[in-house]
Chain A
């Protein structure tokens, strides 16, 4: 099963995935035209800040199986698409009751008007795994936009193996005093984040005058 995997330590908080997502779900598929559409196309991936400056996480639908949202949807608007193993919403069937949002373990649902139902009412909006793009043989728009490999697309077990390999290098390096081969983040990014952690700590100190 192919999925969009998130490496939070690689997320730079640039929001490029959000822009690419909204454009991919616009009618025009053009960033300059998408901004003029009515209703506005919306992002379905959300880059939210972490606890310190210079940390963030790109949150999106994990397409759970079984999917709690699908199980509670009273109108059958949420269903599983078998070809790509994705959880999809039929906007025209959605009654915006927010049951799906209540049970979602990741809080990925948002409510906006969409092109299928027009600007008059809001419906549940979430990641559709870029099912149209996948059908054409493309990868999801968010992954394509990410230049830092914070978002990667592939077979889940293969992606996990890449992480295991890195762990393995680190453990062997630590136990044998060898030079580590592949640190999780380069020195530049490490130093950039270290400032954030330190600034956060400084903010917690000190009272009022």
Chain B
């Protein structure tokens, strides 16, 4: 019989802090995401093959993948159409999440430009000017606030369809833009493409799976070069463009003698003022009166990454840590904004004294204290939240506190601007290193945790193999936290890298795995790729680049992977998306797209094999660019043990 609680902690996570907390969960009978996955097994094959459709009330329908049962839904949609429609809706949901996050930042930026907020400012005028240039906003003889207002209004127009195409497309290399124009997939409006996807996937609209998949590309581009880019760029303007900063990671960043507040979610717009509020003398005094030595902020997920990048706030962990951090008994408050916050956190919090504080009216949690975010009273609300956390500290039970292990030092803050600065003001030295082969290429390893993959094993192992083979790795989101906890983001980690990459890292004093930010900050990778392509006057798809999402789970990741491929970057997914019910869709995404956008997806859960696929791809690109290359076929592709034939390669 299956045990109710999985107890083989080493199979669940590579990290000792997670394993210690999982043991505690098991002993105390606290349910976690791993338990719930075990209870969901077996998960529905129709759904995970993408063959079930709930889009209308003639259904729900499902197509038999064995070919004997129904081959069409009630409306007549076959496997290809159903799989494509489901994928399209997932991408639209992911792109919507990023884009709505961007809009929230934009609204605060607009109000700040109008002088209506407290706790916000224009922190980076240089960045504002750069965005103004993209949007054609005149700078001459105008105040920062006037420019900011006009920029805000110009970006707001990008959410609709006023101008026909997005402002940030000015950053796209001409050759890539031509590819999109030829395919007629230029993103026209950030909201528009998402709405159009919902329209197309309504019964009886787009009945051609190829046409739906093309719109998947366009929808994702409206995220990557639209909504997400707005979020990143305007966050930089308001909170500062990240610069290299030292910090620490894992559950050891919690402090037994201080008020611990975890900032969880994705949007930095509130958490940034909480950082200011936590330094308020009155609140620090209040903490002292309660017997705490101070107020300690820690990050979770991408809100944490935003604060780490700009303020050096340490990270407690990534997606799969969110329940476990509460089980330390040392967390006084978890402040949540939105995205990737499990509804279960309030259940776990009930077993401890932790106050869960929700802050966005669009993201409420039964069992949480709700304090509505309002930028007009930003700093006051920040103080109110910190006060609640200090009050919660009074309920902490000393016997229940268990903080496993010591934090791991790491380095973050590698915005494109910071990387260029580290290189001496131009991307030329990086290009030179790539040209002479000291660095073979660069790979963005991004994306979430998924309990179907041992926590962080996919991220850590893949990045390790890549740097060992002189491939520069840039990371965001949960992948970044995984690498930080594994010690791969200290400058000394250069010793783990191959000789070429190690030499360059040591000369610059940087780690071989560079933290580029949160998951909306994957747009920084696009900007860097575009800059390299422009420097060489080639398309992005010609560069020795790749991307990987070894442990992805979310619809947002589906959108990110798709905009990477649509932008010309080969992308390896560790978790299979629900598309295997349609051979045609799989073939188009894994092979057919090569001739369309110059890049494809691959699916490979084995990090060793994924590393080989990426290394081979990079050498192929080097050969095509006329750079010194290794014969790709000489790079061994490890055999699968149990399953000899490749899933999709």
Consensus secondary structure, chain B interface:
loop
CA of A133 to CA of B564 in the docked complex: distance in angstroms? 54
In the complex with contacts A147-B64, A188-B65, A209-B485, A201-B641 CB distance below 8 A: yes
Are A12 and B49 closer than 8 Å at their CB atoms?
Answer: yes
Are A198 and B606 closer than 8 Å at their CB atoms?
Answer: yes
Are A195 and B576 closer than 8 Å at their CB atoms?
Answer: yes
Are B16 and A209 closer than 8 Å at their CB atoms?
Answer: yes
Q: Choose among B1, B49, B642 the residue that contacts A201 (Cβ–Cβ < 8 A).
A: B642
In the complex, the chain A residue whose C-beta lies closest to that of B576 is A195
Are A195 and B647 closer than 8 Å at their CB atoms?
Answer: yes
- Cβ of B47 within 8 Å of any chain A Cβ, yes or no, is yes
In the complex with contacts A54-B45, A195-B603, A203-B11 CB distance below 8 A: yes
Are A192 and B576 closer than 8 Å at their CB atoms?
Answer: yes
In the complex with contacts A191-B586, A194-B647, A201-B640 CB distance below 8 A: yes
Write out the residue numbers on chain A whose beta carbons fall within 8 Å of the beta carbon of B581.
188, 192
In the complex, the chain A residue whose C-beta lies closest to that of B456 is A209
Q: Which of B43, B45, B48, B580 is the most central at the interface, judged by chain A CB atoms within 10 Å of its CB?
A: B45
- Cβ of A15 within 8 Å of any chain B Cβ, yes or no, is yes
- Cβ of B281 within 8 Å of any chain A Cβ, yes or no, is no
- In B452-467, the 8 Å CB interface with A consists of 452-454, 456-458, 460-461
CA of A190 to CA of B580 in the docked complex: distance in angstroms? 9
Write out the residue numbers on chain A whose beta carbons fall within 8 Å of the beta carbon of B571.
none
Write out the residue numbers on chain B whose beta carbons fall within 8 Å of the beta carbon of A203.
11, 453-454, 457
In the complex, the chain B residue whose C-beta lies closest to that of A149 is B68
Are B453 and A192 closer than 8 Å at their CB atoms?
Answer: no
- Cβ of B629 within 8 Å of any chain A Cβ, yes or no, is no
Are B64 and A148 closer than 8 Å at their CB atoms?
Answer: yes
Are A12 and B605 closer than 8 Å at their CB atoms?
Answer: no
CA of A125 to CA of B13 in the docked complex: distance in angstroms? 39
Are A198 and B14 closer than 8 Å at their CB atoms?
Answer: no
In the complex, the chain B residue whose C-beta lies closest to that of A7 is B66
Q: Which of A35-43, A44-52, A79-87, A172-180 contacts B (4 or more CB under 8 A)?
A: A44-52
Write out the residue numbers on chain A whose beta carbons fall within 8 Å of the beta carbon of B16.
208-209
Q: Per-position contact with A for B38-73: 1 when CB-CB < 8 Å, else 0? A: 000111111111000000000000101111111000
Q: Choose among B2, B14, B458, B643 the residue that contacts A197 (Cβ–Cβ < 8 A).
A: B643
- Cβ of B145 within 8 Å of any chain A Cβ, yes or no, is no
CA of A205 to CA of B574 in the docked complex: distance in angstroms? 15
Are A202 and B65 closer than 8 Å at their CB atoms?
Answer: no
In the complex, the chain A residue whose C-beta lies closest to that of B63 is A147
Q: Choose among B48, B454, B607 the residue that contacts A192 (Cβ–Cβ < 8 A).
A: B48
- Cβ of A66 within 8 Å of any chain B Cβ, yes or no, is no
In the complex with contacts A199-B605, A206-B457, A209-B486, A148-B642 CB distance below 8 A: no
- Cβ of B512 within 8 Å of any chain A Cβ, yes or no, is no
Write out the residue numbers on chain B whose beta carbons fall within 8 Å of the beta carbon of A195.
576, 580, 603, 605, 647
CB distance from B100 to the nearest CB of A (A): 31
Write out the residue numbers on chain B whose beta carbons fall within 8 Å of the beta carbon of A208.
10, 13-16, 19
Write out the residue numbers on chain A whose beta carbons fall within 8 Å of the beta carbon of B10.
207-208
In the complex, the chain B residue whose C-beta lies closest to that of A187 is B583
Are B66 and A10 closer than 8 Å at their CB atoms?
Answer: yes
Q: Choose among B487, B580, B605 the residue that contacts A209 (Cβ–Cβ < 8 A).
A: B487
- Cβ of B648 within 8 Å of any chain A Cβ, yes or no, is yes
Q: Choose among B45, B458, B487, B648 the residue that contacts A202 (Cβ–Cβ < 8 A).
A: B458
- Cβ of A189 within 8 Å of any chain B Cβ, yes or no, is yes
CB distance from A93 to the nearest CB of B (A): 27
Q: Choose among A48, A54, A206 the residue that contacts B454 (Cβ–Cβ < 8 A).
A: A206
Write out the residue numbers on chain A whose beta carbons fall within 8 Å of the beta carbon of B2.
48-49
Q: Which of A148, A187, A189 is the most central at the interface, judged by chain B CB atoms within 10 Å of its CB?
A: A148
CA of A201 to CA of B639 in the docked complex: distance in angstroms? 12
- Cβ of A111 within 8 Å of any chain B Cβ, yes or no, is no
In the complex with contacts A147-B62, A189-B66, A209-B15 CB distance below 8 A: yes
In the complex with contacts A10-B66, A49-B42, A198-B582 CB distance below 8 A: no
Write out the residue numbers on chain A whose beta carbons fall within 8 Å of the beta carbon of B634.
none
- Cβ of A14 within 8 Å of any chain B Cβ, yes or no, is yes
Write out the residue numbers on chain A whose beta carbons fall within 8 Å of the beta carbon of B1.
107
Are B647 and A14 closer than 8 Å at their CB atoms?
Answer: no
Are B14 and A202 closer than 8 Å at their CB atoms?
Answer: no
CA of A188 to CA of B45 in the docked complex: distance in angstroms? 12
- Cβ of B645 within 8 Å of any chain A Cβ, yes or no, is yes
Are B14 and A209 closer than 8 Å at their CB atoms?
Answer: yes
Write out the residue numbers on chain A whose beta carbons fall within 8 Å of the beta carbon of B582.
188
CA of A75 to CA of B101 in the docked complex: distance in angstroms? 66
Write out the residue numbers on chain A whose beta carbons fall within 8 Å of the beta carbon of B586.
188, 191
Write out the residue numbers on chain A whose beta carbons fall within 8 Å of the beta carbon of B460.
206, 209
Write out the residue numbers on chain B whose beta carbons fall within 8 Å of the beta carbon of A187.
583
CB distance from A153 to the nearest CB of B (A): 14
Write out the residue numbers on chain A whose beta carbons fall within 8 Å of the beta carbon of B583.
187-188
CB distance from A61 to the nearest CB of B (A): 17
CB distance from A78 to the nearest CB of B (A): 22
CA of A165 to CA of B564 in the docked complex: distance in angstroms? 47
CB distance from B9 to the nearest CB of A (A): 9
Are B69 and A149 closer than 8 Å at their CB atoms?
Answer: yes
CA of A148 to CA of B47 in the docked complex: distance in angstroms? 13
Are A191 and B65 closer than 8 Å at their CB atoms?
Answer: no
CA of A195 to CA of B573 in the docked complex: distance in angstroms? 11
- In B570-592, the 8 Å CB interface with A consists of 574-576, 580-583, 586
Are B47 and A198 closer than 8 Å at their CB atoms?
Answer: no
In the complex with contacts A12-B65, A148-B69, A209-B485, A188-B580 CB distance below 8 A: yes
CA of A48 to CA of B648 in the docked complex: distance in angstroms? 27
Are B44 and A14 closer than 8 Å at their CB atoms?
Answer: yes
Write out the residue numbers on chain B whose beta carbons fall within 8 Å of the beta carbon of A194.
640, 643, 645-647
In the complex, the chain A residue whose C-beta lies closest to that of B606 is A202
In the complex, the chain B residue whose C-beta lies closest to that of A10 is B66
CA of A80 to CA of B221 in the docked complex: distance in angstroms? 65
Are B70 and A192 closer than 8 Å at their CB atoms?
Answer: no
Write out the residue numbers on chain B whose beta carbons fall within 8 Å of the beta carbon of A188.
49, 65, 580-583, 586
Write out the residue numbers on chain A whose beta carbons fall within 8 Å of the beta carbon of B642.
197-198, 200-201
In the complex, the chain B residue whose C-beta lies closest to that of A184 is B66
CA of A15 to CA of B641 in the docked complex: distance in angstroms? 30
Write out the residue numbers on chain B whose beta carbons fall within 8 Å of the beta carbon of A206.
14, 454, 457, 460-461
Q: Choose among B46, B67, B576, B606 the residue that contacts A14 (Cβ–Cβ < 8 A).
A: B46
Write out the residue numbers on chain A whose beta carbons fall within 8 Å of the beta carbon of B46.
12, 14, 147
In the complex with contacts A201-B642, A208-B15, A185-B44 CB distance below 8 A: no
CA of A12 to CA of B14 in the docked complex: distance in angstroms? 30
CA of A50 to CA of B16 in the docked complex: distance in angstroms? 28
CB distance from A192 to the nearest CB of B (A): 4
A-B contact sample (15 more), CB < 8 A, given A56-B45, A203-B457: A13-B44, A47-B42, A48-B42, A49-B41, A186-B65, A188-B586, A190-B645, A195-B603, A198-B642, A199-B453, A200-B642, A202-B454, A204-B11, A206-B461, A209-B460
What are 24 A-to-B residue pairs whose CB atoms are below 8 Å? A11-B45, A12-B49, A13-B45, A49-B42, A53-B43, A54-B45, A148-B66, A188-B49, A188-B583, A191-B580, A191-B648, A192-B65, A192-B576, A194-B640, A194-B645, A195-B647, A197-B640, A197-B642, A198-B642, A202-B453, A202-B458, A207-B10, A209-B15, A209-B456
Point out residues on B near A: beta carbons under 8 Å. Answer: 1-2, 10-11, 13-16, 19, 41-49, 62, 64-70, 452-454, 456-458, 460-461, 485-487, 574-576, 580-583, 586, 603-607, 640-643, 645-648
10 residue pairs, one from A and one from B, having the closest CB atoms:
A12-B45, A13-B42, A56-B42, A49-B41, A147-B69, A192-B580, A199-B605, A14-B44, A194-B647, A195-B576
Point out residues on A near B: beta carbons under 8 Å. Answer: 10-15, 47-50, 53-56, 107, 147-149, 185-192, 194-195, 197-209
